[in-house]
């Protein structure tokens, strides 16, 4: 019990299997009050499954978790009172007005009419939907719906707010707008936020700590700076001529054993790109590797992911697989 005392969200080896497929694999996480923790990973990494278990809509296959001191398996009602959720897919009733959606939510969470009216007013202010509050949700734009959902997740003053891909499918302008809201919220209301995303910029700009998740496992956890420091500095990306050919690949492996190769490019982690670039070119020349283009980058979380897994976070193939899976889930339940 002592170990749980200060964490508001705590998971211990939580696991979810769907038949043979392990969607979440023995995840142990601990989130402090007021913290914004991001789950960053490619589509299909298990982020939504993890959130679904914490929201008590999916039962873990093994392991346990507690939120606000309540066990998710034994005290689901208390867990539900402690949390707010913004789902990945839309979950509003579009035949009701924005205000009616919030009122329904407030009632389901046991608020009396006076408290509900006061908080709904505040929330509508916060998400700037006061003018549209009495229009049917079906007349809202995508960004307005998203803002309403975020506002709805706050009406009952949750201790923990879950945001599952809060800006998925939104245009860049709306996305930044919503980031502003989330930052402001976390600061003003002191809510603990657990969010999933596969946008690296989103994770970097919002999260205090980031858990990188891949194939159901957490493979790295730390502040954005800590994670980037894992790379040991900056990144040099070199486009190599004939990189598909095994002979060239062998040369690369011999001359640059630490390089990661993908998509015809060779990626090197260096302390300082400016100082080491010349040496790299010389080594390449000696090894007979022809470099067509070179660029250097400060490390991003995508580089961290790439280094840890040899893949990119936004893997198009995974994207299609995930779309199919999402489609099957939607139709399979």
Partner 1 sequence: MMVGDMANIRNELMAVHAVWLREFKRFYRDKGSLLGSIARPLMWFLIIGGGIGATTKLAGVSVDYFTFIAPGIIGMTVLFTSLFQGVSVIWDREFGFLKEMLVAPVSRTSIVIGKALGGATASLFQSAIIIGVAYAIGVHFSLSALLALLPLIIIISVGFTSMGLTIASLMDTMEGFNVIMNFIVMPMFLLSGALFPISATSGIMATAVYVNPMTYGVEALRYAAIGVSSTSPVTSMSVVLAFTAAMAVIATVAFNRRR
Least spacing, CB of residue 57 vs partner 1, in Å: 6
Our CB check for partner 1 shows the closer of 110 and 142 to be 110
Between residues 7 and 53, which has the closer beta carbon with respect to partner 1?
A: 53
Phi, psi angles (nearest 5°) of residue 273: -60, -40
Q: How far is the CB of 228 from partner 1 (least distance, A)?
A: 35
* CB-nearer residue toward partner 1: 56 or 235: 56
Q: In the complex with partner 1, which residue's Cβ is closer, 13 or 57?
A: 57
In the numeric block, which tokens belong to residue 289?
A: 């590797």
Q: Closest CB to partner 1 among 87 and 181?
A: 87
Q: Write out the two tokens for 306.
A: 């790439």
Least separation in angstroms between CB 202 and partner 1 = 22
Residue among 133 and 212 whose Cβ is closer to partner 1? 133
- Nearest distance from C-beta of residue 33 to partner 1, angstroms: 20
Instruction: Give the Cα separation of 130 and 124 in Å (integer).
Output: 5
CB of 142 to partner 1, least distance (A): 13
**Backbone phi and psi for residue 81, each to the nearest 5 degrees, phi listed first:** -70, -25
Q: How far is the CB of 330 from partner 1 (least distance, A)?
A: 8
Distance in Å from the first CA to the final CA of the chain: 36
User: Which residues in this chain contact partner 1 in the complex, by CB under 8 A?
Assistant: 55-59, 77-78, 80-81, 83, 85, 87, 89-96, 100, 103-105, 107-110, 152, 330-333
Nearest Cα residue to 264 out of 287, 291, 281, 244 = 244
Q: Please say whether the beta carbons of 120 and 130 come within 8 A.
A: no
Q: b vs e for 236-269, b when ≥16 Cβ sit within 10 Å of the residue's Cβ?
A: bbbebeebeeeebbebbeebbeebbbeeebbbbb
Question: Which neighbouring-strand residues pair with 142?
Answer: none
Please identify which residue in the block is written with the tokens 């070119």: 281
Give the total residue count for the chain: 333
């Amino acid at each position: 019990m002592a170990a749980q005392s200060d964490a508001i969200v705590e998971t211990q080896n939580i696991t979810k299997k769907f038949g043979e497929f392990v969607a979440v694999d023995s995840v142990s996480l601990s989130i402090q009050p007021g913290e914004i923790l991001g789950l960053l990973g490619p589509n299909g990494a298990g982020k939504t499954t993890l959130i679904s278990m914490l929201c008590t809509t999916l039962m873990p296959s093994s392991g346990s978790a507690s939120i606000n001191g309540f066990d998710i398996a034994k005290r689901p009602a208390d867990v539900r009172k402690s949390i707010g959720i913004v789902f990945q897919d839309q979950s509003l009733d579009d035949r009701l007005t924005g205000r009616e959606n919030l009122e329904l939510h407030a009632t389901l969470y046991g608020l009396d009419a006076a408290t509900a009216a006061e908080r709904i007013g505040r929330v509508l202010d916060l998400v700037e939907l006061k003018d549209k509050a009495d229009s049917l949700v079906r007349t809202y734009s995508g960004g307005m719906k998203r803002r309403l959902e975020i506002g709805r997740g706050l009406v009952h003053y949750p201790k923990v707010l879950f945001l599952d891909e809060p800006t998925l499918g939104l245009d860049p302008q709306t996305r930044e707008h919503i980031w502003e809201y989330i930052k402001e919220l976390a600061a003003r209301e002191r809510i603990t936020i657990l969010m999933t995303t596969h946008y690296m910029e989103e994770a970097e700009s919002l999260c205090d700590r980031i858990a990188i998740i891949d194939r159901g496992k957490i493979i790295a956890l730390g502040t954005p700076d800590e994670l980037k420091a894992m790379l040991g500095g900056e990144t040099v990306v070199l486009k190599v001529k004939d990189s598909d050919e095994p002979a060239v690949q062998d040369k690369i492996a011999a001359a640059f054993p630490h390089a990661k190769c993908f998509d015809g490019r060779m990626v090197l982690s260096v302390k300082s790109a400016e100082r080491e670039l010349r040496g790299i070119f010389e080594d390449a020349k000696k090894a007979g590797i022809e470099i067509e283009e070179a660029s250097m980058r400060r490390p991003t979380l995508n580089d961290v992911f790439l280094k840890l897994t040899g893949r990119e976070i936004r893997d198009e193939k995974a994207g299609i697989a995930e779309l199919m899976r999402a489609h099957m889930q939607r139709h399979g339940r």
